[in-house]
Amino acid sequence: MAGGGGFDAPETGSGLHKQKKYKKGKKVGVRIDMTPMVDVIMLLLTFFILTTTLNTPQIMQINLPKGDESDKVKVDMGDVLYIRVSETGNIYFSKGLSDGSEAPPEKHNFNDIKTKIESYYAQNPKLLILLKFDRKMKYNTMVDILDEINKAAIEKRYSFMKMEDPDKEIVKNAGG
């Protein structure tokens, strides 16, 4: 059966039916050109930047007088409520007296500001509030106090004044 049998068996060593060995060739990578995609992204970005309306920052508008002599207003000190805020955020109310002096300051909690201002206003509808803030206090404390004043059901008549050394002394003596 060496030469003409009905089935083929591999012969060892004869070399007639050698298996083919494949060489590993270089892998051909797929190359995608990214240039058009980058162009489209840049066009979209430019479109959205140019068509988007940007929000303007919210600014608290405070109209201050120029400070001329003609701008000064005469006020009865009995109609004045001083609100002083110390460096640590302590809040002091003191009522002005008709003789030009003022009552001793009273310390109040932040939560009581609105109700206290409304009660003062109920006693005197011509009330004018003078706000004096220490420059070293936190800014958000001032904004929170202004918000409470604006929430109060009163005629909004208040003014800012610089906290000077006598005011700091009043706050210090009151425990601030």
Mean pLDDT by groups of 10 residues along the chain of 176 residues: 53 59 74 88 92 75 69 76 88 86 86 88 87 88 87 82 86 80
CA gap 15, 24 in Å, rounded? 23
- The pTM is what? 0.58
**Residues 118, 81: contact at Cβ < 8 Å?**
no
CATH number of the domain that 84 lies in?
A: 3.30.420.60
Domain assignment present for residue 48? The answer is no
User: Which pLDDT score, from 0 to 100, does residue 45 have?
Assistant: 93
Would residue 57 count as lying in a domain?
no
Give the number of domains in the chain.
1
Q: Is residue 61 part of a domain?
A: no
In a domain? residue 130: yes
Residue 101 lies in a domain: yes
CA-CA distance, 173 to 153, in Å (whole number)? Answer: 31
- What was the pLDDT predicted at 11? 54
Residue 136 backbone class (left: φ over 0; alpha: ψ -120 to 50; beta: rest): alpha
The CA distance from 122 to 119, in Å, is 5
Give me the domain span that covers residue 129.
Answer: 77-171
The alpha carbon of residue 51 and the mean position of all alpha carbons in its chain are separated, in whole angstroms, by: 25
Q: Tell me if 71 is assigned to some domain.
A: no
pLDDT of residue 44: 94
Does any domain span residue 23? no
